[in-house]
Amino acid sequence: QVQLVESGGGLVQAGGSLRLSCAASGVIFSNYAMGWYRQAPGKQRELVAGITTDGTTNYADSVKGRFTISRDNAKNTVYLQMNSLNPEDTAVYYCNGIGRRDASSTYYPRWGSWGQGTQVTVSS
pLDDT-derived band at 105 (thresholds 50, 70, 90) equals confident
Of the candidates 124, 114, 101, the residue with the CA atom closest to the CA atom of residue 39: 114
How does pLDDT run across 44-93, given as a tens digit for each residue? 999 999 999 999 999 999 999 999 999 999 999 999 999 999 999 999 99
- For residue 121, how many C-alpha atoms fall within 13 Å in the half-sphere facing its CB? 5
Of the candidates 20, 26, 19, the residue with the CA atom closest to the CA atom of residue 1: 26
How does pLDDT run across 7-27, given as a tens digit for each residue? 999 999 999 999 999 999 999
The predicted pLDDT at position 106 comes to 85
